[in-house]
């Protein structure tokens, strides 16, 4: 106290220094963003790696899905490195800088979007090929074998089943959604054994609607084929129908538990065979019946009594499907027999 100044007693309620505040709101907002970011980054790394390493159908299918998964892993690793750098080397100010409520909402929305993207990746995980222990018997006899010289060739976007001799008829087949293309190889091999070229497509991301024109490249690779049919299972049949409706050089349409999405009743010169199962829980008999007006009046319908959706390929069971009333092997013998008759008629008419 300086000389000449009046004495003033200390105020017992007077505080000195900064006033303590409540919990740091910036801190908890930052924590939410940091931990939710860590969760999203971990999901981007773990889920795609799990799909790549545990499901052989991922690497055996179209390269678009593995490329997408690798990109997701790379993004997750980059995000994780940024978080680690911020936590351990960024200092307290960088770890918990001012976070507004809008930034918090925006950050959470972004992380939820990433988790939704990861969930979509999980949905894209294909049903892998699961060979039936009982080999599907060709329609011309249970002891029939493939002709000498019949062979299968595979590339990044298709599987080709070539007959021993020169083929003049061919089938381009679209798999069902998220079903491994190899799951149809045993079922369609008897058609190649009987002298027809068969090309099983590998759709991008396992969804044929992403490239309904994919059959064109397969057809262009085989100019020796005089009569082409396209076919498909479930969603693949929808894509095959669209392709057949738009391309007048297609002579036949083979539908496995499927129906078109557009009206094809006026399609000229198109032979159609629709094969379905009475116990199918997805392409139900009611749906098949309701779709009849969309197909040409000359369409042939074949029914596998007791057959279910998953019997039109070898990939195990499928959620939402019905209960079978027949064995897979018996059902597939009927499917093969009807498909062979269809392709033979196409060859005879060509």
Q: Residues 49-106: pLDDT tens digits?
A: 999 999 999 999 999 999 999 999 999 999 999 998 887 776 554 455 567 888 889 9
Give the residue range(s) of CATH 3.40.50.1820 domains in the chain.
151-349
* Mean pLDDT, the chain, whole residue set: 89
Sheet arrangement for strand 300-304? 151-154, 158-162, 197-201, 169-174, 227-233, 250-256, 271-277, 300-304
Spatial contact of 64 and 204, defined as CB atoms under 8 Å apart: yes
Write the burial class of residue 38 (CB in 10 Å: 0-12 exposed, 13-18 middle, 19+ buried): middle
pLDDT at residue 5, rounded to an integer: 56
With a pLDDT cut of 70, the percent of the chain lying above it is 85
Domain spanning 151-349: CATH superfamily: Alpha/Beta hydrolase fold, catalytic domain (3.40.50.1820)
Spatial contact of 313 and 328, defined as CB atoms under 8 Å apart: no
Examine the pLDDT at 335 and tell me if it is beyond 90: yes
The dihedral of CA 302, 308, 309, 310: what is its sign? Answer: negative
**C-alpha–C-alpha distance, residues 196 and 138, integer Å:** 14
| H/E run at residue 303 | strand 300-304
**C-alpha–C-alpha distance, residues 97 and 91, integer Å:** 10
SS3 141: coil
User: Tens digit of pLDDT for each residue in 317-330?
Assistant: 999 999 999 999 99
Examine the pLDDT at 258 and tell me if it is beyond 90: yes
Torsion angle defined by CA atoms of residues 67, 71, 74 and 76, in that order, rounded to the nearest 10 degrees: -130
**C-alpha–C-alpha distance, residues 253 and 157, integer Å:** 21
Examine the pLDDT at 147 and tell me if it is beyond 70: no
Confidence of residue 22 (pLDDT cuts 50, 70, 90): very low
The dihedral of CA 125, 117, 94, 33: what is its sign? Answer: negative
pLDDT at residue 34, rounded to an integer: 87
């Amino acid at each position: 106290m300086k000389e000449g100044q009046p004495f003033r007693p200390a105020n017992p309620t007077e505080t000195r220094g900064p006033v303590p505040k409540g919990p740091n709101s910036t801190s908890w907002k930052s924590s939410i963003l940091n931990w939710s970011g860590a969760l999203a980054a971990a999901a981007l790394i773990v889920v795609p790696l799990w799909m790549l390493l545990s499901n052989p159908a991922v690497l055996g299918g179209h390269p678009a899905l593995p490329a997408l998964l690798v990109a997701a892993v790379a993004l997750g690793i980059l995000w994780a490195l940024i978080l680690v750098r911020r936590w351990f080397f960024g200092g307290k100010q960088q770890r918990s800088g001012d976070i507004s409520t809008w930034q918090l909402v925006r950050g959470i929305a972004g992380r939820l979007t990433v988790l939704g993207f990861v969930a979509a990746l999980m949905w894209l995980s294909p049903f892998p090929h699961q060979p039936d222990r009982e080999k599907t018997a060709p329609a011309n006899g249970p002891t029939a074998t493939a002709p000498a010289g019949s062979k299968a060739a595979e590339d990044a976007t298709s599987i080709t089943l070539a007959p021993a001799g020169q083929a003049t008829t061919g089938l381009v087949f679209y798999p069902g959604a998220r079903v491994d293309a190899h799951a149809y190889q045993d079922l369609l091999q008897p058609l190649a054994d009987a002298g027809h070229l068969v090309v099983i497509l590998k759709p991008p991301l396992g969804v044929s609607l992403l490239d309904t024109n994919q059959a064109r490249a397969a057809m262009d690779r085989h100019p020796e084929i005089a009569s082409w049919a396209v076919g498909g299972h479930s969603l693949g049949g929808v894509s095959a129908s669209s392709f057949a409706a738009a391309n007048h050089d297609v002579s036949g349409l083979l539908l496995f538990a499927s129906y078109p999405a557009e009206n094809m009743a006026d399609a000229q010169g198109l032979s159609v065979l629709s094969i379905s199962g009475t116990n199918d829980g997805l392409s139900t008999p009611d749906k098949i019946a309701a779709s009849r007006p969309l197909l040409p009046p000359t369409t042939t319908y074949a029914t596998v009594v007791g057959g279910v959706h998953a019997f039109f390929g070898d990939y195990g069971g499928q959620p939402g499907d019905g209960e079978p009333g027949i064995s897979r092997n018996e059902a597939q013998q009927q499917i093969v027999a009807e498909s062979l008759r269809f392709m033979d008629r196409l060859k005879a008419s060509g």
